[in-house]
Structure 1
Amino acid sequence: MIKLSNTALSALPPGVHWAGYDRSRLKAGIVHFSVGNFHRAHQAVYLDRLIADGGHDDWALCGIGLMDTPAERAKAAAFPAQDGLYTLTVCPPHGEPEIHVIGSIIEYLFAPDDPEAVLAKLCDPAIRIVTMTLTEGGYNIDDETHEFKLGTPDIVHDLANPTTPRTAFGYVAEALSRRRAAGLPAFTVQSCDNLRHNGHVAKTAFIGFARARDPELAIWMEQEVDFPNSMVDRITPATSDADRTRLNVASDIEDEIPVFCEDFIQWVVQDQFRLGRPAWEKVDVQITEDVWAYEQIKLRMLNSSHSMLAFPGTNAGYRLVHETVADPQIAQLLFDYWNKDVIPLLQAPPGMSLQGYRDKLMERYSNPATRDQTIRIATDGASRIPIFSGDTIRTILEQGGDFRRLAFLVASFAFCLGGVDDKGVHFSTPEPRLSAADHATAQDPDPLAFLSLSIFAGLGMETSPDFVKTFQDYRESLASRGTLATLKDILAG
């Protein structure tokens, strides 16, 4: 196999696509926190296309690794060893996958080893945008007060040690403080996470941290820092060791950090960048002031239905998404959910068909080549359900509508926390927002105990006696009869 590096670009195996631009001319204009698979299959791909199109040599990416884990350390070693290059295998529902080498990430810094190098990069005047994928639950916002939480250990550390931070909030605040002192303009802060109003959430988080550190800095940030909203979409599974071997054999390239994804890609961005931005529209990014309309549709149709298939699918013993939706009962559950619960509550932007979007989603879920994992989607359900399904739950309860499928979703989540599927197989879905006491509450026979957890604050489930009873009936049925038997009754109801 060819070891991936700059020198290998001129001799890539047949069938491997490379855009052919001169990477030696590139300069970083964007810093990205947490360079996970999604970022490398999404934002980095759009930028790779723009650089290849010409005129964007000063908009390359510098990636920042934040978490000090073995996997992140391995990634931090692989990036410089491969000159920031990696392979991306794009898998259509039908036909052969395409293999691309992506070159838009030209630098990678591992924050735990050298915080000052990260701060120096953020203070470079060439850096005009800071983007991030911190995950849905990564913005440290209190579920009840909707304010930034100051008591978490890493935040306490960053407030006490501003020059050696651990979080994106600490790094951004310190860098902006230095830029302000030096008379440099503030960079734009752009969330690329699956969140409603992700720019507003980011603003709440970063200014909330800054206010606790230095109220004058927070005032300056409110005036000078842009926080554009955006909507992102591309199914990108985790890469296992077996996947890595499979992908490298297919590409004939030795790559320590390969990524694979579906062929669908979408990005909708609010045009709010006072220091400028790449011409994203040249590579089919939708630039609009109405991100909300697209965001609502994506969160409530894609992300919420992902949860609707992942929890029952995992509990029933399925581990791959395409196998899960091949089960006719789960497929019917999704269509009933879309048609009866979600689509009636949405207003599509001009020219967009919600029914067409629905059918495209099922086609994407049915794609066997992506081998997306139900456990990946079921992970961090405590963040996903309120964010992705919360509006639907709240509205249907307020309108007195049919909440059975949503009660089944929440009951399936509670059952999933037990970590044993209907076949007796143990599994793990990490829940960083749930404490040991929360996990114990999930098994409490009193349904109000679980439905009253702070993660569900404001959804109104615990105040609806009918919802509480239905949730409890489903939870008992899941435990005694199993997922598919329970689901059969719901579909027949």
Structure 2
Amino acid sequence: MIPYDRPSVTPGIVHLGVGAFHRAHMAAYIDDLLSGDPSWGIVGASLRRPDTLRALAPQDFLYTLVTRSGSETKCRVIGALIGVLHSGSRHRELLRTMTDPRTRIVSLTITEKGYCHDPATGRLSLAHPAIVHDLATPDAPLSAPGLLCRALELRRTAGVIPFTVLSCDNLPENGRTTAAIVTEFAAQHDEELARHINTEVAFPSTMVDRIVPATTDEDRMNVVEETGRYDAWPVVTEPFTQWVMEDRFTAGRPKFETAGVELVADVRPYEIMKLRMLNGGHSMLAYLGYLAGFEFVSDTVADPAFRDLARDFMNAEVMETLPSGTGDPGAYCDMLLERFANPALRHRTWQIAMDGSQKLPQRLLGTIQDRLRLGLPISRGALAVAAWMRYVSGIDETGREIDVRDPLSRRLRAIARAGGDPANMVDGFLQVREVFGETLARDPEFRAALIGHLESLLHRGAAQTVRSLAQGGTFAC
């Protein structure tokens, strides 16, 4: 069932944020490598809820990776995850594991909000409650920056070589961004530690790509039917997977290249293309699709008007902002639309719409800023941002409440409901500087585009707004 001796696997990686994406992506790559080197087992850490620990502990942390494409389903048992610790109840054990010399990499998939930073600037948010707690109580950290700093401090004191910090989240230049956040946190506590981290710790940037919907009860039932075994928490994904990383490691690394990882000198071109095309296109489809009544991305893309909008956004707006060295963006766009249309994944628009205040700067606003700087139209990107504004108002087009999951949800809803007309709503949203920054928030062309689109979304609805464009209409801007 597993092609290696699992009892011989020892921990080499601690992973913060052991969610579905990690288990379908990084853990699968590591699983492929354990036959050749069993010293790279993964100890996961849940930073918020202990759900993963409770689900997987009774099954020895084994789980099923389900790959679906059309009518084809493949099931595989993953054994790379050899334990999970809940940081809230076992933070001392987690810090001991991170300090253990056998731990040579600490990786992260904690989503954008887990970095406790200002998405518009990339700086650490010193007012974040978890950061305030960790600076006051460094021995019992709650945040990822606090955990990393404390573990690196303990290793330095013990004379243990630092681990590599490997971010696998959708952040611009995620390695450099993580390094800046962790170093800034350390400087608030100990300038010498900050210098040590700055000079001795590697933070390679990465680009990760695989679509992983949330697991459902139906998925669990299907695993039983396919394998004859009950799995409390399988993960479902698509056949496509990609991992690009900079080859900079402090204390050694697995032979990633033998598992299909692309090792490069500079990951930035790949990262920008993925963030702006895949993630930007996904967010556009999520907000507009949800408002139009589509539950799944595949259903949204099956509508020709929405598919054309996503394609035209990527081809006509994003591509002109991409750096060189990204291969064939046109072919990448075609592949993305094919992946989005995979009906077997059932990726909910609501799931993708989560945490938009943290995601917009990387996924959509960077493209818009670059186009404004070049004097180019921003119509489609601005429509996606206006759809986000409509979505976070918290009431859908039928008058039902939207379960908006976002760190700023209360503030955003208050802005939407106090705004009244579209112009006032837009002006209120643009005051959220941690999302829009200073320059973009003051741009008159961006403001005018948002007002026109938001007015259409409020009075005509998302479906009619998008379909009128497909029938030869023009964007409000």
Q: Under a length normalisation based on structure 2, what TM-score does the superposition of the two structures give? A: 0.94
Question: Quick one: distance in 1 between partners of 2:435 and 2:124?
Answer: 17
One-letter code aligned to 2:45: I
For 2:53, the aligned partner's letter is A
Point out the more displaced range, 478-487 or 125-134: 478-487
Aligned counterparts, 1:67-466, within 5 A: 67=48, 72-92=49-69, 94-143=70-119, 146-349=122-325, 352-432=327-407, 434=408, 436-443=410-417, 444=419, 445=421, 446=424, 447-458=426-437, 460-466=439-445
Match of 1:15 in 2: none
Q: Which segment drifts farther, 417-426 or 207-216?
A: 417-426
CA distance in 2 between partners of 1:140 and 1:232 (Å): 21
Cα distance change, pair 460–490 in 1 and its aligned pair in 2 (3 A)? farther
Q: Give the one of 17, 20, 40 matched to 1:59.
A: 40
Q: Equivalents in 2 of 1:484, 1:402: separation in Å? A: 22
How far, CA to CA, are the matches of 2:311 and 2:122 in structure 1? 33
Contact 2:120–2:433 under 8 Å retained in 1: yes
8 A contact 2:115–2:144 mirrored in 1: no
TM-superposed CA distance for 1:135, in Å, is: 0.2
Identity of aligned residues (%): 39
- 3-state SS of the aligned residue for 1:322? helix
Aligned mates of 2:263, 2:178 — CA distance in 1: 19
Amino acid paired to 1:73? P
1:36 equivalent to 2:19? Answer yes
Contact map agreement 1:187 1:275 (CA 8 A) in 2: yes
Q: CA deviation at 1:401?
A: 1.5
Gaps of 5+ in 2: none
AA partner of residue 368 (structure 2) = I
- Give, in whole Å, the separation in 2 of the partners of 1:381 and 1:142: 13
Q: How high is the TM-score relative to the length of structure 1?
A: 0.91
Larger mean Cα displacement after TM superposition, 205-214 or 468-477: 468-477
CA contact (8 A) 1:397 1:460 kept: no
Cα distance, 1:299–1:459 mapped onto 2, change above 3 Å: farther
Cα distance change on mapping 1:419 and 1:241 into 2, 3 Å: farther
8 Å CA contact 2:433–2:441 kept in 1: the answer is no
Structure 1 residue 29 displacement after superposition: 0.5
- Where does residue 31 of structure 2 map in the other structure? 48
C-alpha separation in 1, matches of 2:288 and 2:409: 23
| Contact 1:229/1:269, CA 8 A, preserved across alignment | yes
Deviation at 1:460, TM superposition (A): 4.1
Q: Is the 8 A contact 1:393 1:459 kept in 2?
A: no
In the TM superposition, what is the alpha-carbon distance from 1:424 to its structure 2 partner?
A: 3.9
C-alpha root-mean-square deviation of aligned residues, in Å?
1.7
1:322-356 deviation digits (Å, cap 9, x = unpaired)? 00001111011011111110112224527x22111
Contact 2:204–2:246 under 8 Å retained in 1: yes
Cα distance in 1 for partners of 2:123, 2:2 equals 44
Deviations 1:259-282 (A, max 9, x none): 100110000010000211000000
Whole-Å Cα distance in 1 between the matches of residues 100 and 220 of structure 2?
35
Q: Deviations over 1:21-64 (max 9, x none)?
A: 10011100000001000000000000001113x1x111111111
For the structure 1 residues 103 and 361, does the alpha-carbon distance in structure 2 shift closer, same or farther, using more than 3 Å as the test? Answer: same
Say which SS state the counterpart of residue 63 (structure 1) adopts.
Answer: strand
Following superposition, the deviation at residue 421 of structure 1 comes to 2.8
Cα deviation code 1:77-103 (max 9, x no counterpart): 2222111100010112x3411000000
CA distance in 2, matches of 1:287, 1:267: 9
Deviations 1:98-123 (CA, angstroms, capped at 9, x unpaired) = 00000001121111112111111111
SS of residue matched to 2:85:
strand
Residues 137-192 of structure 1, C-alpha deviations (whole Å, 9 max, x = no match)? 22122245542122222112212222222122222222211111111111111101
Q: Distance in 1 between matches of 2:465 and 2:88?
A: 48
Q: What's the secondary structure of 2:14's corresponding residue? A: strand
- Unmatched 5+ stretches in structure 1: 1-17
Counterpart Cα distance in 2 of 1:136 and 1:176: 22
For residues 148 and 394 of structure 2, the distance between their equivalents in structure 1, rounded to whole angstroms, comes to 37
Structure 1 range deviating more: 399-408 or 98-107 = 399-408
CA contact (8 A) 1:233 1:266 kept: yes
SS at match of 2:114: coil
Moved more, 164-173 or 24-33: 164-173
Read off the aligned partner of 1:82 and give its amino acid letter.
Q
Taking the aligned partners of 2:366 and 2:404, their CA distance within structure 1 comes to 24
Q: Supply the distance in 1 between the matched residues of 2:245 and 2:445 (Cα, whole angstroms).
A: 40
Letter in 2 for 1:235: I
Structure 2: how far apart are the matches of 1:403 and 1:264? 30
Q: Measure the CA separation in 2 of the matches of 1:149 and 1:347.
A: 29
Deviates more, 1:383-392 or 1:440-449: 440-449
